[in-house]
Structure 1
Amino acid sequence: MSRARTYWLLLTGAVIFSGCGQQSDRWKAQRPTVAPASGTVTFEGLPLEGAVVVFQPTAPDGIGASALTDSDGKFELKTFPPESGAVPGSYSVVIMKTDAEDQPSEDAAPVMVKSLIPIKYSIAAKSGLVADIPPSGLENISFDLKE
């Protein structure tokens, strides 16, 4: 499994299911309705593959969604994986693309994480990226990141 995919899976679990165990049927029946939400991420006009896209709700009681971009920079948000969709609402968006570099060590090899895009895109307050998902969904979200 690639490091980007591993990172995405860990991030998805931490953001969406923090503190939760296996979902019960009761929880599934009570969870909010989601709408289709997908789009494309490019960096300097080129598709950004392997980037983690996280939609953080602006409402204090909102539920986030995340995705991993494919080789064409396309993503499909998931709030309750493996099912697709995002809860309608307003979001701040962060996008991360990293390359972990193993550092030599005699004991355990620590990992240095290097951002492959400007770090501002990984901080909600600095990214400048926002999105509104209507109840009908939004399937053409586009983010063109610049150096």
Structure 2
Amino acid sequence: MILIILAVVVFTGCGSDDVPLASVAGTVTMNGKPLSGATVLYRPRTTDKDSDLKGAAESYGKTDENGHYELSVVMTGDTGAVVGPNDVIITLDVFEEILPSFDESGKDQRGPNPIPSQYNSDTTLEFDVPPAGVEDADFELLNPDFKVPDKSAHPARDV
């Protein structure tokens, strides 16, 4: 019986090794200008059949000063993203790194997240990763009121 189980594990594999990956790179802009210091997260869409395989195969990349990013799998560090449809989440690192600073009424003094929710918590962004990979997975974000939060106004605190 143990040999049968071992054979099944060996022949079917486990984890994200069975998930096809392809290299993904692109540029993120905000109001037509490169968005630096952002995290781009690809979350593969799964079915009941493949959820165990793809579930731990999210990929991410950080944008540089030109808004350029390249993806790596979160859990393994492998280059790329899962082939097929992915939901895309884009957040601004500087906002995420600043701890909330609440005033007397309980309002967060950081103000609203400068990246609108339709690009992160309520994302409408998606990308279908082709098997051959892609170098122009670009996203053009819009927010006429965009302003990077002033990190210096919120001194670092121990958590």
- Change in 2 beyond 3 A, CA 1:133/1:102: closer
- Change in 2 beyond 3 A, CA 1:30/1:82: closer
Q: Does 1:69 align with 2:56?
A: no
Which position in structure 1 is the counterpart of 2:113? 115
Which position in structure 1 is the counterpart of 2:139? 143
- Change in 2 beyond 3 A, CA 1:29/1:43: closer
Q: What is the aligned-residue identity percentage?
A: 30
User: Which one has the bigger strand percentage?
Assistant: 1
After superposition, where does 1:4-19 map in structure 2 within 5 Å? none
After superposition, where does 1:36-115 map in structure 2 within 5 Å? 36-60=23-47, 61=51, 62=54, 63-79=57-73, 81-97=76-92, 98-99=94-95, 100=98, 103=101, 115=113
Q: In the TM superposition, what whole-angstrom CA distance separates every residue of 1:77-122 from its partner, at most 9, and x where no partner exists?
A: 1115543211211011110014215749xxxxxxx69622213311
Conservation of the 8 A alpha-carbon contact between 1:55 and 1:92: yes
Q: Does 1:34 align with 2:21?
A: yes
How far apart are 1:139 and its partner, in Å? 1.3
Which structure has the bigger radius of gyration? Answer: 2
SS in structure 2 opposite 1:41? Answer: strand
Structure 1 residue runs without a partner (length 5+): 1-25, 105-111
- Change in 2 beyond 3 A, CA 1:116/1:81: farther
Conservation of the 8 A alpha-carbon contact between 1:101 and 1:114: no
Conservation of the 8 A alpha-carbon contact between 1:101 and 1:113: no
- Distance, in Å, in 1 between the alignment partners of 2:124 and 2:72 is 22
Q: In the TM superposition, what whole-angstrom CA distance separates every residue of 1:52-96 from its partner, at most 9, and x where no partner exists?
A: 111111114122211111110010011155432112110111100
**Partner letter of residue 42 of structure 2?**
F
What is the aligned residue count?
Answer: 116
SS in structure 2 opposite 1:115? Answer: coil
Question: What root-mean-square deviation, in Å, do the aligned CA atoms of Structure 1 and Structure 2 show?
Answer: 2.9
Moved more, 29-38 or 69-78: 29-38
Which position in structure 2 is the counterpart of 1:6? none
**Partner letter of residue 90 of structure 2?**
I
After superposing on structure 2, the runs of 4+ consecutive aligned residues of structure 1 that deviate more than 4 Å are: 26-29, 101-104
**Partner letter of residue 126 of structure 2?**
V
SS in structure 2 opposite 1:120? Answer: helix
- Distance, in Å, in 2 between the alignment partners of 1:30 and 1:95 is 26
